[in-house]
């Protein structure tokens, strides 16, 4: 009898020890991942220490026509002239009414009040080139209609601009840094790209709660339209350098800054994949396109995306890729084309073969979908 009591006592001790170890382990895991919320199982995550959380791949799906779109009016006061295509004379408006439907799941419809509530007392900053500015204008327009006129404003600071929703103490910001690393003027006004210098741009990213980066187009400009005249790395200066090699070096500098300066418990970081261009090099011009393509038989994966994935895998900090490339490549109808400036139809017809913007996006339009996905990822 005494032996059986002793055996039972030992079992009880072992049981409590195991439970305590499990609780401590669970507590550690919980604290390690406390910044992840319930919706994060829908995110495609590239990082070095945690496995991918993927129950829905937002990148794969189709465009469906939806009469309830767009999500805001084309008269949004925060839109720049270059993207107000209907105001500039574009006669059709169906490009505003296409919704992205992922295979096997759905993207929650953007709710401005819900977004503002979740972003209360937070800063969200979009960093990149003019296409990221395109996305910033979209996000501001998605939100601004529910904020009273007297309780919203836009402020400017160097290369940044910020939409403030005062009652929510939150901001939606844009920071101009198309190459992420620094592009400076040298002797004779020559443009010098410094592959290992970033602080002049990065100083604006400190203290931000959500950072969304994009950098691709300025690295792909042809020799005729090159973004720089010389490239510097350390004390070495180059006239000619493989753009893909330069891109990886620049991204590596960015990645090191993120790893050394940001805390994943404080800041969440996303990197939006390359926005496609529908110009002659891609096989067509975007002028007069009225509807999306249905699919690609062989989708093209940009080399920049492969480089980005390679760099992110080497990082300690968890960075999420927002893959919008293929879905946007189907939307040849969504660009300003000849309607990037206000002019009459006669002038537009004369311009169509010479001055057609097939890089940026009409608003309302495709970037609204990028922001609906971003909202779901948050």
In tens, the pLDDT along 50-89 reads 333 357 889 999 999 999 999 999 999 999 999 999 999 9
pLDDT of the residue at 12: 45
Tell me the C-alpha distance between 171 and 152, whole Å. Answer: 10
Tell me the C-alpha distance between 331 and 323, whole Å. Answer: 15
Catalytic site includes residue 93: no
| pLDDT band at residue 351 using 50, 70 and 90 as cut-offs | low
- Among residues 278, 357, 359, 368, the one annotated as catalytic is 357
Q: 210 has which bridge partners?
A: 124, 268
pLDDT of the residue at 223: 59
User: What does the pLDDT look like over 258-270, one tens digit per residue?
Assistant: 999 999 999 999 9
Catalytic site includes residue 130: yes
Tell me the C-alpha distance between 55 and 44, whole Å. Answer: 9
Residue 92 predicted with pLDDT over 90: yes
Give the position of tokens 């169906």: 94
pLDDT of the residue at 56: 82
pLDDT of the residue at 226: 80
Per-residue burial over 248-275, b if 16 or more Cβ lie within 10 Å, else e, is: bbbbbbbbbbbeeebebeebbbbbbbbb
Between CA 39 and CA 48, with CA 44 as vertex, the angle to 5 degrees is 110
Catalytic site includes residue 194: no
Looking at residues 161-178, what average pLDDT do you find? Answer: 97
pLDDT of the residue at 342: 74
Residue 42 predicted with pLDDT over 50: no
User: What does the pLDDT look like over 306-326, one tens digit per residue?
Assistant: 999 999 999 999 999 999 999
Residue 17 predicted with pLDDT over 50: no
Q: Which of 218-222, 333-337, 344-348 has the lowest mean pLDDT?
A: 344-348
- Among residues 130, 196, 227, 343, the one annotated as catalytic is 130
Per-residue burial over 171-205, b if 16 or more Cβ lie within 10 Å, else e, is: bbbbbbbbbbbbbeeeeeeeebbbbebbeebbebb
- Among residues 275, 323, 360, 368, the one annotated as catalytic is 360
Burial of 154 from C-beta contacts in 10 A (0-12 / 13-18 / 19+): middle
pLDDT of the residue at 347: 54
| pLDDT band at residue 240 using 50, 70 and 90 as cut-offs | confident
pLDDT of the residue at 259: 98
pLDDT of the residue at 45: 42
């Amino acid at each position: 009898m005494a032996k059986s009591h002793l055996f039972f006592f030992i079992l009880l001790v072992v049981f409590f020890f195991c439970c305590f170890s499990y609780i401590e382990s669970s507590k550690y895991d919980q604290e390690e991942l406390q910044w992840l919320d319930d919706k994060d199982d829908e995110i495609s995550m590239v990082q070095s220490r945690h496995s991918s959380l993927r129950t829905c791949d937002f990148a794969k799906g189709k465009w469906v026509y939806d009469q309830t779109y767009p999500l805001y009016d084309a008269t949004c006061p925060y839109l720049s002239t270059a993207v107000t295509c209907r105001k500039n004379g574009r006669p059709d408006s169906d490009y505003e009414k296409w919704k992205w439907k992922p295979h096997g799941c759905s993207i929650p419809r953007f709710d401005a009040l819900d977004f503002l509530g979740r972003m209360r007392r937070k800063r969200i900053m979009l960093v990149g080139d003019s296409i990221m500015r395109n996305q910033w204008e979209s996000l501001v327009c998605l939100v601004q209609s529910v904020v009273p006129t007297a309780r919203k404003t836009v402020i400017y600071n160097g290369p940044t601009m910020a939409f403030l929703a005062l009652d929510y103490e939150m901001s939606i910001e844009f920071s101009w840094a198309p190459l992420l690393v620094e592009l400076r003027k040298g002797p004779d006004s020559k443009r010098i790209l410094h592959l290992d210098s970033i602080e002049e741009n990065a100083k604006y990213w400190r203290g931000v709660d959500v950072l969304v980066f994009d950098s691709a187009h300025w690295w792909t400009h042809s020799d005729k339209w090159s973004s720089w005249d010389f490239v510097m790395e350390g004390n070495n200066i180059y006239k000619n350098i493989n753009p893909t090699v330069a891109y990886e070096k620049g991204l590596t500098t960015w990645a090191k800054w993120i790893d050394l300066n940001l805390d994943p418990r404080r800041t969440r970081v996303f990197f939006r994949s390359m926005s496609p261009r529908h110009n002659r090099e891609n096989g067509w011009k975007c002028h007069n396109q009225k509807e999306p393509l249905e699919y690609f038989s062989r989708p093209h994966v940009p080399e920049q995306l492969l480089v980005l994935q390679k760099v992110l895998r080497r990082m300690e900090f968890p960075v999420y890729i927002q893959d919008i490339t293929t879905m946007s490549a189907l939307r040849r109808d969504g660009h300003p084309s000849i309607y990037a400036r206000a002019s009459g139809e006669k002038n537009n017809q004369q311009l169509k073969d010479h001055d057609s913007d097939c890089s940026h996006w009409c608003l309302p339009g495709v970037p609204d979908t990028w922001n609906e996905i971003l909202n779901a990822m948050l």
